[in-house]
Amino acid sequence: MYPELRTPDERSCELCGRAEVWDEDAGTWRVAPGDDDPPVGSLYCIHEWDINGSFVPFAERRETVEG
């Protein structure tokens, strides 16, 4: 039993606002359903995923990305 090792089923990007949900059947991430405006975010974003906060400890974690 590995209670800590759960697959997240939602994630969102802190940078561009893209939101995705895990599609278990397809085995891949899909853009979260939106009414008229699906949160696709930016194509060119490197995506900094925030997975409900529980998988990413809020340590000092500043990455410098050029470009």
Residues that bind Zn ion (CB under 5 A): 13, 15-16, 18, 41, 45, 47
Least distance CB 24 / Zn ion (angstroms) = 23
The residue among 3 and 53 lying less far from Zn ion, judged by its C-beta, is 53
- Least Å from the CB of residue 19 to Zn ion: 10
Q: Could you tell me the smallest distance in angstroms from the CB atom of residue 26 to Zn ion? A: 21
> d(Cα 62, Cα 39) in Å, to the nearest integer?
25
Q: How far apart are CA 22 and CA 32, in angstroms?
A: 9
